[in-house]
Amino acid sequence: MRNYEKIFFFIGLQLLSSSTYAQPINVKSLQFDTTSKQNRLIFDVTASPQHRVFVMENPSRLVIDISNAHLERSLAQPSEGHPLFNRVRAGVRNKTDLRIVVDLKTPISAKKFSLNSNNNDVNRLVVDLDSIVVSDVVSNKQQEKTENDNSSEVEIKTITQKTTGLAHAARSIIAIDPGHGGNDPGAHGLQGTEEKVITFAIAKKLEALINAQSGMKAIMVRRGDYYVGLRERMQIARAAKADLFISIHADAFQDTEIKGASVYTLSTTGASSEAARWLADSANASDMVGVSLHDKEDDLASTLFDLTQKGTREASVNVANHVLRSFISISQLHKDTVQKAGFMVLKSPDIPSILVETAFISNASEEQNLLSKQYQSKVANAIFKGVRNYFKQSLPDDSKVAALDL
C-alpha cells in the first residue's frame, strides 16, 4: 500500500503542478511613462508572463504577444498629445494568448529606437522604447517572417472599443446621424411635416445631452439642412473614430393608424454584402482587424474579418436593446424586439450601429408629438439613457462613462 500511496502522491503533485501552470495570467492595467529619451509601457499582471515584443510596418505598430493571458479590463489609452503612441488595441490569439497592438504615430527604426522588455518583477511587464542610436531593433525581414509564420494561427476577437463597446479611456465618441436632409426631406406627415426637420431637432437635443456628460463626446454627421450620402455618413463616423453610430428617423406607412417606435441593427445579409466589399479592398480590411491581410489566404482573411464584424453586430444588438427598453416609458413600441434590416448606414463593420425609428410621422397623433419640443426632448433622453446604460454595462468600473449615475 505504501508504494500505491507514493504513486498517488506523485500523481497528485503533477496534477496540481499542471493545474497551476494552466492558470491564465490577468493583464490588469496599463500605464505610460514617457521622457525625452524613453517611452515605457508598464503592464500590471498577476504573474510573470512568457511574452515577445516586435514591430510591424505599414502601418507602424508595436506588438506584444503574451502567452496564456487575458485582459481583466480595457487598457488605458495614451494621451492625444503623446509623442509616439497613438492607440492601444487588444485581441485573442490562438484562443488562449493575448495580442496587444500599439499604433504608433511615427515609424520605428534601429536608427531612432531600441526595443527592450522584461518581466523580472512578477507583477509587471515593462516594454521600453529608448530614443538612442542602436542596431538591435527587430529588422524588417524578421518582422515579416514573424507575421508570416503566425498568419495561420492569428485569431482576432476584438476586446477593444469598436466591437464590444469598450471605448477610449478618456471619452466615448458617439456619431449622431439625423436622417435625410437637403433635397431629401424623407417622409411627410399628414400636416406636411418633413422627417428631415424632426430628425435634426432630436439629434441636436441628443448631441447636447451627450456633450454635457463627462466621458462622452457627440459628432454630428450633418450639422445643417443638407444631404449627406449614405456611405459618406459611415465614413464620417469612421474618420471621427466613433465608438457608436446612431441614425435617427421617423417612420411612415400607408395605414395611418400604425404607430410606435422601433430600433434596428444590421441584418446578416447586409453584413455579408458589406464584408465582401471590404475584403475586396484589403487595405481597408487590414486597417479594421489590425492585421495585414495582403499575404493571407482568402479564407483566413475572411475569417479574421468575420470575427471582428461579428463582435460589432453583437455590440449593436446590445445597445439597441438598451435604447428600445428606454422608449417603453415614453412611447408605444411598434416592435417590442430589436429589428434587423440592410440599411446602408448600419454597415460599418467596426462601429456598433443602430437606427432608431422614433415614431410614425404618418400617424396624426405621433406627428403632433414629433412637432413638440417637449416630446423631442423625451425621445432624445430615451436614446441617451439607453446609450448610457449600454456603456455602463460594457465599460470597466474605473471608466468615466461607466461611473455615470443613472
Nearest C-alpha neighbor of 64 from the set 39, 87, 41, 82: 41
Q: Is the dihedral of CA 59, 65, 69, 75 positive or negative?
A: negative
* CB distance 238 to 348 below 8 Å: yes
End-of-domain residue from the set 155, 185, 219 = 155
Ordered DSSP codes for 285-321: HHHHHTS--TTS-HHHHHHHHHHHHHHHHHHHHHHHH
Per-residue CA distances from 132 to 37, 112, 135, 139, 249 (Å): 7, 6, 10, 16, 55
Q: In the prediction, which pLDDT does 111 show?
A: 53
Query: Could you say which DSSP state residue 348 is in?
Result: -
pTM of this prediction? 0.55
- State how beta strands 114-118 and 124-130 pair: antiparallel
Residue 286's Cβ-side half-sphere holds a number of Cα atoms within 13 Å equal to 17
Q: In the prediction, which pLDDT does 297 show?
A: 42
CA pair distance 121, 123, nearest whole angstrom: 5
Q: In the prediction, which pLDDT does 359 show?
A: 95
Based on the fold, state whether residues 58 and 185 are members of the same structural domain.
no
Based on the fold, state whether residues 277 and 390 are members of the same structural domain.
yes
Cis peptide before 352 (omega within 30 of 0): no
Range of the structural domain that residue 42 is part of: 23-155
Residue 107's Cβ-side half-sphere holds a number of Cα atoms within 13 Å equal to 10
Per-residue CA distances from 122 to 36, 125, 270, 371 (Å): 27, 8, 47, 62
* CB distance 346 to 274 below 8 Å: no
Tell me how many domains the chain contains.
2
Based on the fold, state whether residues 151 and 198 are members of the same structural domain.
no
- Containing 203, the helix (H) or strand (E) segment is helix 195-211
Give Cβ neighbours of residue 269 (< 8 Å, ≥ 6 apart): 342
Whether 206 maps to a domain, the answer reads: yes
Ordered DSSP codes for 223-269: SSS----HHHHHHHHHHTT-SEEEEEEEE--SSTT---BEEEEE-HH
Whether 38 maps to a domain, the answer reads: yes
CATH of the domain at 250: 3.40.630.40
End-of-domain residue from the set 155, 180, 214 = 155
Whether 161 maps to a domain, the answer reads: no
Based on the fold, state whether residues 149 and 177 are members of the same structural domain.
no
End-of-domain residue from the set 155, 182, 206 = 155
Give Cβ neighbours of residue 173 (< 8 Å, ≥ 6 apart): 167, 217, 218, 219, 240, 241, 242, 243, 244
Whether 361 maps to a domain, the answer reads: yes
Q: In the prediction, which pLDDT does 53 show?
A: 85
CATH of the domain at 107: 2.60.40.3500
Buried b (16+ CB within 10 A) or exposed e, 275-292: beebbeebeebbbbbbbb
Based on the fold, state whether residues 180 and 86 are members of the same structural domain.
no
Q: In the prediction, which pLDDT does 82 show?
A: 84
Based on the fold, state whether residues 209 and 115 are members of the same structural domain.
no
Whether 164 maps to a domain, the answer reads: no
Q: In the prediction, which pLDDT does 120 show?
A: 65
Nearest C-alpha neighbor of 267 from the set 323, 221, 300, 309: 309
Nearest C-alpha neighbor of 128 from the set 179, 62, 192, 65: 62
Whether 7 maps to a domain, the answer reads: no
Whether 350 maps to a domain, the answer reads: yes
Whether 142 maps to a domain, the answer reads: yes
CA pair distance 154, 220, nearest whole angstrom: 36
- State how beta strands 38-45 and 51-56 pair: unpaired
pLDDT in tens, the chain (406 residues): 455 454 444 445 444 444 444 578 888 888 888 887 788 888 888 888 888 888 887 778 888 888 888 888 888 888 888 888 888 888 887 778 888 988 888 877 655 566 777 776 668 888 888 764 333 333 343 444 444 444 333 433 333 333 334 334 457 899 999 999 999 999 999 999 999 999 999 999 999 999 998 889 999 999 999 989 888 998 899 888 899 999 999 999 889 999 999 999 887 665 555 555 544 444 443 344 343 444 444 444 444 445 555 778 888 999 999 999 999 999 899 989 998 887 888 877 778 999 999 999 999 999 999 999 999 999 999 999 999 999 887 654 445 454 454 4
Q: In the prediction, which pLDDT does 351 show?
A: 86
Based on the fold, state whether residues 194 and 306 are members of the same structural domain.
yes
